[in-house]
Structure 1
Amino acid sequence: MDGARAGLTVDELRPVAWAAFGRGRTLLSVERLTGGTKKGVYRLTLDDGSTGIAYVWHPTEDYWPAQAALEPDDPFGHATGEGLFEAAHREFTAAGVRMPRLLLTPTAGLLPGEVAVVQDVRGGTLQDLRRRDPRRAEVVLARLGDAVRSMHARRRDRYGRPGLDGPTPGRPVERIILDRALRDLTEAAARVERIAAVRDRLADALAERCAAVAPRSRYGLIHGELGPDHVLVDERDRPVLVDIEGAVFLDVEWEHAFLELRFGDAYPALAVDGLDGNRLRLYRLATYLSLVAGPLRLLDGDFPDRAGMLAIVEHNITRTLDQLA
């Protein structure tokens, strides 16, 4: 990507390769993969042609600007770091969900920041497979649906991120998402004239939808950003989830509002029974607003794929305004 930050070199990543594969192996090349916004992702190629993927968590790999501190009961946050990765990996494993196999558990000291090495799943993303071979993609989608239902069935009675003690009990999840959506609305209205013109109507719609939501006290495990670009396909056409640091126990409707958006006409393969329609109405609008404000916030920095982010913004301005129709 033009304008991307300089990546780590073979010399810098050699100790990581030794730790993951042994000192008898030679690291021949390093490729910095594109697409990540919060961590560096590097393909390591060894002397026998085998490969692995290094995840690197360090401020120099994170394109997001600093964020204001959240309220103590807020389960959202900047989803980055080896601690969140390792805890999410445990939870998804317990739910029977496939992820790249860990070759080096997250560790510090080999580089500035933290690093882990995982299996290199070379079948590409589900997003690419849907364009290239729709029939094969249907098989993967069906298996992904099983994985989604399995992880969403993993429940607990406290919302929050795996591996953390959890937020201080306070607002219900729907209220937290309402408050978050109102902040996103304020940001979006300050940057987008079309949103500013209907800001009061959008605020009223959010409040009305939140008021219709009934209380709940059980929460399912969700990925948090499960699009077809975050699903790899292995050699047996099995889905493999990546970018898992955003995993959280939350209302599963939050995930399904995102799945509907990202999978479009393929979403029925991922659907689950018993979703709360009132929550979905609130979470759809909140999701669209977050996908206007969030990418614009990211573009305050030096993220290189500006055209891609602006396209996301434009699509979600349209989706947001359509909610008032």
Structure 2
Amino acid sequence: MRRTADLSELTPVVRAATGRRPVAARRLAGGSKKGVYRVRLDDTGTVVVYLWRPDEDFWPATARRDDGPADPFAHASGLRLFAGAHRRLSALGVGVPEIVLRDERRRWIDADVVIVRDIPGPSLETLLRHGPQPVTMDVLAKALERMRRCPAPAIGKVGPVESGARIGETRCERLVYERALVDLRDAARREPRLAAAEDRLAATLGTLFDRVVPRPPAGLVHGELGGDHVLVRPDGTPVLIDIEGAMYFDPEWEHAFARIRFGADHPRLVRGPLDEARLRCYALAEHLSLVAGPLRLLDGDIPDRAGFTAIAEYNLAAALAFDPDRPVSTVDN
């Protein structure tokens, strides 16, 4: 039986962080690798608690890649990854939640925990449903450009790389290509429509990879930049959340994902130059990842099964219809 936290379990650590008495706690939807809880205090204030422990992680153990701490596509979960990304993004002036308490010694609760100040505003995804958000999108675009220009010591997760960890590969596009083949093969075992197109899509990935001209690693990326991973303060300032996957990697990887998630609003986030061949290769790889990942989660007991099924269906259709010769720097969804 999966165990998630309740108010009584969260009370000691929240008291230690805030000096206030917690009166209500709610697990927020969307987290698949950690527990995210909004806790209301007796003075009507709120904080958000992040918990990392096995019962809070819905990914099946067999679906968790683990090729060393710096591996950019390893399972992005844990307090140390969060802390390393938080430190680097803060130094760049990128909005991230303010940490109130951090504890990996498990002094109050049987989990690694970070408590952050709650962001009172909605997500950028929610705001964009009601119309353009020029101030927020401009600030976010400038932040992404600072991240793009951030020197990359090596490919990989921020904290481990900055601590000296390295992977053997020096080409981002090769990592993406090899991972995409694994995602394709894995998803094809679960989805007959993909199995019927497996050989064609594998050949397309090879063609796209061959078109990419090698270059040194460049920049810092969030890794899963969608509007649901950006909260907005009342003054319009964006704040990045779910930052454990932040890594030194090609900015085209970021924008291939953001293009899917932001749709027609995505061009407002582009400031610096992007390589079209990389975007094309990474776009198909992202679609395959967004089929394979949800299908792996659906093997387990992840909540919101309809939501993950919809993600897989959308990206399956996009992968099957993908044209390797069509530019992806303009929006087509």
Partner Cα distance (1:7, 1:70) in 2: 24
Which runs of structure 2 are paired with 1:172-321 in the superposition (5 Å)?
Answer: 172-321=171-320
Partner Cα distance (2:208, 2:84) in 1: 33
Deviation at 1:28, TM superposition (A): 1.2
Partner Cα distance (2:182, 2:110) in 1: 34
Deviation at 1:162, TM superposition (A): 1.2
Q: Does the residue aligned with 1:45 lie in a helix, a strand or coil? A: strand
Partner Cα distance (2:170, 2:236) in 1: 42
Q: Does the residue aligned with 2:272 lie in a helix, a strand or coil? A: coil
Partner Cα distance (1:53, 1:171) in 2: 37
> Which consecutive unaligned segments of at least 5 residues does structure 1 have?
none
2:126 equivalent among 120, 125, 128: 128
**Pair 1:108 & 2:80 matched:** no
Which runs of structure 2 are paired with 1:7-156 in the superposition (5 Å)?
Answer: 7-22=4-19, 25-66=20-61, 67=63, 69-71=65-67, 74-109=71-106, 110-132=108-130, 134-135=131-132, 137-156=133-152
Q: Does the residue aligned with 1:180 lie in a helix, a strand or coil? A: helix
Deviation at 1:204, TM superposition (A): 0.7
Partner Cα distance (2:142, 2:97) in 1: 18
* Counterpart AA for 1:193: P
On the 8 A contact 2:52/2:113 being kept in 1, the answer is: yes
On the 8 A contact 2:170/2:217 being kept in 1, the answer is: no
> Which consecutive unaligned segments of at least 5 residues does structure 2 have?
325-333
- Provide the TM-score with structure 1 as the length reference: 0.93
Could you say if the C-alpha distance between residues 127 and 189 of structure 1 is closer, same or farther in structure 2, counting changes exceeding 3 Å? same
* Counterpart AA for 2:112: E
On the 8 A contact 2:152/2:249 being kept in 1, the answer is: no
* CA deviation vs aligned residue, 1:6-34 (integer Å, no higher than 9, x gap): 53122211111122112xx2111111111
* Counterpart AA for 1:235: P
Could you say if the C-alpha distance between residues 240 and 68 of structure 1 is closer, same or farther in structure 2, counting changes exceeding 3 Å? closer
* CA deviation vs aligned residue, 1:201-252 (integer Å, no higher than 9, x gap): 1111111111111121132110000100011011211111100000000111
On the 8 A contact 1:39/1:61 being kept in 2, the answer is: yes
Q: Percent identity?
A: 46
Partner Cα distance (1:41, 1:241) in 2: 15
* CA deviation vs aligned residue, 1:107-133 (integer Å, no higher than 9, x gap): 33121120010010121111111123x
Q: Does the residue aligned with 2:260 lie in a helix, a strand or coil? A: helix
On the 8 A contact 1:55/1:115 being kept in 2, the answer is: yes
Q: Which residue of 1 aligns with 2:329?
A: none
On the 8 A contact 1:39/1:56 being kept in 2, the answer is: yes
Partner Cα distance (1:10, 1:224) in 2: 32
| Range with greater deviation from structure 2 (13-22 or 75-84) | 13-22
Deviation at 1:197, TM superposition (A): 1.4
Partner Cα distance (1:35, 1:196) in 2: 29
On the 8 A contact 1:140/1:238 being kept in 2, the answer is: yes
Q: What is the RMSD computed on CA atoms of the aligned residues?
A: 1.7
Partner Cα distance (1:128, 1:198) in 2: 35
Partner Cα distance (1:85, 1:189) in 2: 32
* Counterpart AA for 1:124: P
On the 8 A contact 1:202/1:324 being kept in 2, the answer is: no
* CA deviation vs aligned residue, 1:169-193 (integer Å, no higher than 9, x gap): 2352211111100011101211222
Q: Does the residue aligned with 1:175 lie in a helix, a strand or coil? A: helix
Give aligned pairs, total. Answer: 318
Deviation at 1:71, TM superposition (A): 4.4
* CA deviation vs aligned residue, 1:281-303 (integer Å, no higher than 9, x gap): 11001000000111000110000
* Counterpart AA for 2:266: Y
On the 8 A contact 2:97/2:241 being kept in 1, the answer is: yes
On the 8 A contact 2:22/2:41 being kept in 1, the answer is: yes
* CA deviation vs aligned residue, 1:250-299 (integer Å, no higher than 9, x gap): 11110010011111110111113221111111100100000011100011
| Range with greater deviation from structure 2 (171-180 or 308-317) | 171-180
Moved over 6 A (4+): none
Partner Cα distance (1:310, 1:99) in 2: 30
Partner Cα distance (2:184, 2:60) in 1: 18
* Counterpart AA for 2:258: L
Deviation at 1:99, TM superposition (A): 1.0
- Provide the TM-score with structure 2 as the length reference: 0.91
Q: Does the residue aligned with 1:108 lie in a helix, a strand or coil? A: coil
